[in-house]
């Protein structure tokens, strides 16, 4: 195969392998999520954990309402907005000149972000159940549902001199976006992780088997459906690029097979030519065991009538030269024939 074909095949195979690896990881997550044990947040939860090996359910699904253990976090911008996780973000928005496309492109950059947390539990929606699950390391969750409670864009004020400078530098600031996100008290959460009984405290924490940790605002069925949709998406991508890789490989192998058949056919013709030449040499022997010196080495009947260049051999008649297969080569030394000079005998 050519260098371009080999590079295309290698790139396609590598991309297919990468997509297949992502697909397998997504499928493993979906299977693990589907096999997670669903437990109810009620008075029987402690009994379930006491009967479990090591007082632990390695991968469990539990749904409850967020309740703060200590003092709650108050929103800096919204009154009477209480939560247990608060994330403040300052994001810069600007236009950047692309020298390749000669267009202004939007560019966003987080210039500051701070996340505050306070311990919180998941409790049943019904009051008086007397059971709570302490949520550990919420920021490690792969999906943490935070609600945007405040968002404001502060446009940048520019003078005429600033505008000229921005066009020269290729960067034109648009402004700063200020955002506050919170996990509010009273939010219904679906937690998926390791459920363990530590002395008298029931804890939900990141699992140890490498499975993802979820604290999602949607119900478990919707969360599972989302993961299965991701699996289907990566599966389709893997199949498409795998088919493309197989197509490239098929055309390369087909081309190699054709070249092999052509080389085999050429060798067969050369062997037949050699055998016919030997047979005619035996038939055309003259008295004394010497062959005709001036006869064509191909047909052994006509007189030699042309000179092959650049090798300089005089070995063929004009009719046999025209009958040689392309690319034409000297029957004696097998060198390519660049031109032919007629030979005249006087």
How do residues 82-112 score in pLDDT, each as one tens digit?
Answer: 999 999 999 999 988 888 888 888 989 999 9
Tokens of 221: 């069925």
Q: Of 171, 65, 58, 67, give the one whose Cα is nearest residue 119.
A: 67
Q: What is the pLDDT of residue 128?
A: 62
Tokens of 184: 């509010």
Tell me the pairing of strands 188-198 and 56-68: antiparallel
Report angle CA 63, 69, 74 to the nearest 5 degrees: 100
Q: How far apart are CA 244 and CA 242, in angstroms?
A: 5
Q: How far apart are CA 23 and CA 231, in angstroms?
A: 6
Cα 239 to its chain centre, rounded Å, is: 12
pLDDT at 58 over 80: yes
Report angle CA 333, 338, 341 to the nearest 5 degrees: 90
Cα 90 to its chain centre, rounded Å, is: 32
Whether the Cβ atoms of residue 248 and residue 5 lie closer than 8 Å to each other: yes
Sequence-distant (6+) residues with CB within 8 A of 131 are: 41, 42, 43, 45, 46, 123, 124, 202
Give the least confident one: 7-16, 113-122, 157-166, 197-206: 157-166
Give the least confident one: 141-155, 229-243, 295-309: 295-309
The secondary structure of residue 210, as a DSSP letter, is S
Q: Is 212 helix (H, G, I), strand (E, B) or coil?
A: coil
Q: What is the pLDDT of residue 2?
A: 74
Sequence-distant (6+) residues with CB within 8 A of 18 are: none
What mean pLDDT value characterizes the chain? 87
Q: How far apart are CA 273 and CA 147, in angstroms?
A: 85
pLDDT at 272 over 90: no
Q: What is the pLDDT of residue 178?
A: 94
Q: Is 314 helix (H, G, I), strand (E, B) or coil?
A: coil
Q: What is the pLDDT of residue 61?
A: 92
Supply the DSSP string of 41-110, one letter for each residue: SSTTHHHHHHHSGGGEEEEEEEEEEEEESSPPEEPSSSTT-EEEEEEEEEEEEEEEEETTTTEEEEEEEE
Q: How far apart are CA 222 and CA 224, in angstroms?
A: 5
Give the least confident one: 131-140, 165-174, 249-258: 165-174
Tell me the pairing of strands 120-123 and 56-68: antiparallel
pLDDT at 248 over 80: yes
Q: Does the bond joining 327 to the residue before it have cis omega, within 30 degrees of 0?
A: yes
């Amino acid at each position: 195969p050519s260098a371009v074909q080999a590079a295309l095949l290698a790139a396609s195979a590598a991309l297919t392998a990468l997509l297949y690896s992502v697909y397998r990881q997504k499928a493993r997550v979906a299977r693990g999520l589907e096999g997670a044990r669903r437990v109810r947040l009620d008075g029987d939860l402690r009994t379930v954990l006491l009967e479990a090996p090591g007082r632990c359910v390695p991968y469990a699904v539990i749904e409850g309402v967020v309740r703060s253990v200590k003092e709650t976090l108050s929103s800096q911008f919204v009154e009477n907005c209480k939560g247990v996780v608060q994330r403040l973000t300052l994001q810069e928005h600007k236009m950047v000149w692309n020298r390749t496309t000669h267009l202004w492109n939007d560019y966003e950059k987080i210039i500051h972000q701070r996340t505050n947390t306070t311990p919180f539990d998941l409790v049943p929606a019904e009051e008086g159940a007397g059971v709570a699950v302490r949520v550990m390391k919420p920021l490690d969750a792969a999906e943490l549902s935070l609600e945007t409670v405040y968002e404001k864009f502060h446009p940048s004020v520019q003078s005429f001199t600033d505008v000229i400078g921005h066009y020269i530098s290729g960067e034109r600031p648009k402004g700063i976006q200020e955002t506050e996100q919170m996990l509010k008290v009273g939010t219904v959460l679906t937690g998926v992780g390791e459920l363990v009984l530590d002395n008298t405290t029931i804890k939900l924490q990141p699992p140890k088997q490498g499975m993802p940790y979820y604290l999602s605002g949607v119900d478990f069925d919707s969360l599972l459906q989302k993961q299965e949709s991701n699996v289907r998406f990566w599966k389709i991508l893997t199949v498409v690029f795998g088919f493309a890789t197989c197509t490239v490989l098929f055309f390369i192998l087909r081309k190699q097979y054709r070249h092999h058949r052509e080389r085999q056919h050429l060798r067969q013709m050369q062997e037949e030519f050699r055998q016919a030449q030997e047979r005619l040499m035996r038939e055309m022997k003259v008295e004394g065991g010497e062959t005709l010196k001036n006869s064509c080495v191909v047909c052994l009947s006509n007189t030699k009538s042309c000179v092959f260049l650049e090798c300089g051999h005089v070995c063929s008649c004009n009719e046999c030269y025209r009958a040689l297969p392309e690319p034409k080569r000297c029957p004696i030394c097998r060198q390519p024939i660049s031109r032919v000079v007629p030979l005249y005998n006087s």
